[in-house]
A and B are shown apart, each in its own frame.
Chain A
């Protein structure tokens, strides 16, 4: 079979999973077919061979498993902090496993899709005309969660979204779509986490649109620890109104193939902090594409992404900052730092700034380096063995990313995760 026909077959298979029920989905499906799967000539996927990986992993002649069994809770549940939980299995909401908060609207998407408020917002923020996977998601999602937090409401504990996959009896596709509206002056912490049981291929595609009304405060934490045959596409689109505060964390500790799009539109004098950490080894691949779009004056954004790459792993960072013409007095900062621990690990880093306003403060910096040998020797010269000394230095490098995380429970959970990982696996 020729390469082109495999490619087309995958495209057809993915397109066939869409059964558009409204004009948005029809439009998105057309966009998906028009865009096709991104090849190496697509600038946004230049170092990210997602189509090739799909062709290798997905078998178009076999069905996708939509049913399955929820894996043992011990394997995926974050026990150390009290939290609400929303559980999906192979892309479908599982009511029995979920514990939803009272006092707010929190409704699975397959029912929420008929609500006026949902059709008013869905697809309005996450651009499906430029990225085929967001187009595919918009056309073909099977479930997800709609969260609507009322004005002046504080959700007392984090809401954790668990995306579980049962890949023990065949390949799985999991296409989920979320809409989160944080009402004026509300506060919420959202965590997203994935887990796969079984060794068959999983393609997951999660797109969330998160609207921060005036004066809201949102912590959003992505935890990627799924060490399986999982090809992951994740797109989080934030839209911020005036005086809102966003803290976004994307923490990647495992993953065969991951593409994260984290995009923020600052549509008012608001504040955004974007943090990312990727600790990659073996053949892991992680791509973080971020967009910070300053649309209005007097907003502040700060972005810090750090990576440690070992083995034959591959990390991509692309950070775009737009400062639109009217967005005077913008402060926008970006930094991406990478440590390579092996000769075969690769980091691609690319900052892109487009500034159309004249009264702004913007800076960016990116580095790709190695572990500081002088520092390593200094620690060893005090009697600390080489592995521990290395782990201490890597931890010091990595921990900066979560240092200011405003939720102690989640911070401690991540801290332990990072510490264990650095002491055991590099």
Chain B
């Protein structure tokens, strides 16, 4: 589904990604871990199409297409979803209105009929249950005054509404207490299927107790320095990142 080859990206003069290689197939869950500043969030942002980052080398192929040539909204309509680490607050735009526009643009792109108000509301109610989110919250301005947990639940709610092929969760666990974390993870797990893939970007192993990955990759100084199964995450949890760092420096 996604093939990243030798990807380099920078912001200004600062090189952040220095040759990433990664292959993600349908049905898989990949965890990207690594210490702060290793480039995890940059990778997520580059995949979603954020223009602050300049790709200087390498390629990203998504469902047979050159992802790097697509506009961010085109990527989303093609099935890529980024759950933001810091969801943006947008006064005056309600989640409901915004989601209605988004869902229908995605549906039209997929050759489906846009939803009328009634079917939209029905779909929304069904997806709200997944993350235990209140309709009153969704009628309010997008993320404005939401708690950390509400913002993250809203991200997963949007993911459920848009039914992406490839979801990228950027530090979705940050700022969540254990109950909120369980709700969010539970929502994500219900969306797992053999047709879609998920990339979980996280600093801690904690989230991976609930969203169990097939592969774990460790990012350090802009490169993937180690890959393994879910047991690699546990190893990192008990030993910290230092041994990875020294291994990487030696190599």
Q: How far is the CB of B52 from chain A (nearest CB, A)?
A: 9
Task: Provide the residues of chain A in CB contact with B131, threshold 8 Å.
Answer: none
Contact with B along A380-397 (1 / 0, CB 8 A): 111111101100110111
B76 touches A381 (CB 8 A): yes
SS of A interface (majority): helix
A382 touches B71 (CB 8 A): no
A384 is contacted by which of B81, B84, B105 (Cβ under 8 Å)? B105
Of A147-155, A180-188, A234-242, A371-379, the segment with at least 4 beta carbons within 8 Å of chain B is A371-379
B175: Cβ under 8 A from any A Cβ: no
B105 touches A378 (CB 8 A): no
B162 is contacted by which of A377, A382, A393, A400 (Cβ under 8 Å)? A382
Contact with A along B181-203 (1 / 0, CB 8 A): 00000000000000000000000
Q: How far is the CB of A385 from chain B (nearest CB, A)?
A: 5
Of B3-11, B88-96, B132-140, B232-240, the segment with at least 4 beta carbons within 8 Å of chain A is B88-96
Contact with A along B28-57 (1 / 0, CB 8 A): 000000000000000000001111000000
Known: A383-B76, A392-B98. A400 touches B71 (CB 8 A): no
A386 is contacted by which of B71, B75, B102 (Cβ under 8 Å)? B71
Q: Give the residue name and chain of the A residue nearest to B73 (CB).
A: A380
Within 8 A of B (CB), among A342-399: 372, 374-375, 377-386, 388-389, 392-393, 395-397, 399
Q: Give the residue name and chain of the A residue nearest to B92 (CB).
A: A396
Task: Provide the residues of chain A in CB contact with B109, threshold 8 Å.
Answer: 383
A381 touches B49 (CB 8 A): yes
For chain B, the bracket of interface size reads 20 to 34
Known: A377-B72, A392-B101, A396-B91. A383 touches B162 (CB 8 A): yes
B228: Cβ under 8 A from any A Cβ: no
Q: How far is the CB of B21 from chain A (nearest CB, A)?
A: 24
B84 touches A385 (CB 8 A): no
B92 touches A399 (CB 8 A): yes
Q: Give the residue name and chain of the A residue nearest to B84 (CB).
A: A378
A383 touches B73 (CB 8 A): yes
For chain A, the bracket of interface size reads 20 to 34
Q: How far is the CB of A373 from chain B (nearest CB, A)?
A: 8
Known: A378-B84, A378-B87, A381-B82. A392 touches B73 (CB 8 A): no
Q: Give the residue name and chain of the A residue nearest to B78 (CB).
A: A383
Q: Give the residue name and chain of the A residue nearest to B77 (CB).
A: A383
A378 touches B88 (CB 8 A): yes
A393 touches B105 (CB 8 A): no
Task: Provide the residues of chain A in CB contact with B50, threshold 8 Å.
Answer: 377
A380 touches B76 (CB 8 A): yes
User: A400 to B92, alpha carbons, bound, how many Å?
Assistant: 7
Q: How far is the CB of A106 from chain B (nearest CB, A)?
A: 39
Q: Give the residue name and chain of the B residue nearest to A386 (CB).
A: B73
Task: Provide the residues of chain A in CB contact with B51, threshold 8 Å.
Answer: 377
User: A397 to B93, alpha carbons, bound, how many Å?
Assistant: 9
Q: How far is the CB of A205 from chain B (nearest CB, A)?
A: 36
B71 touches A380 (CB 8 A): yes
User: A395 to B101, alpha carbons, bound, how many Å?
Assistant: 14
Of all A-B residue pairs in the complex, the 8 with the closest CB atoms, nearest first, are A396-B92, A383-B76, A382-B102, A380-B73, A378-B88, A380-B72, A383-B77, A383-B106
What would 23 A/B residue contacts be, using CB atoms closer than 8 Å?
A372-B88, A372-B90, A375-B88, A377-B50, A377-B51, A377-B72, A378-B88, A379-B93, A379-B98, A380-B73, A381-B76, A381-B82, A383-B73, A383-B102, A384-B76, A384-B98, A384-B105, A386-B73, A388-B101, A392-B101, A393-B93, A395-B92, A396-B91
Add 15 more A-B contacts to A381-B75, A388-B101 (CB < 8 A).
A372-B90, A377-B51, A377-B72, A378-B87, A380-B49, A380-B72, A381-B48, A381-B73, A382-B76, A382-B99, A383-B102, A383-B105, A384-B102, A386-B71, A386-B73
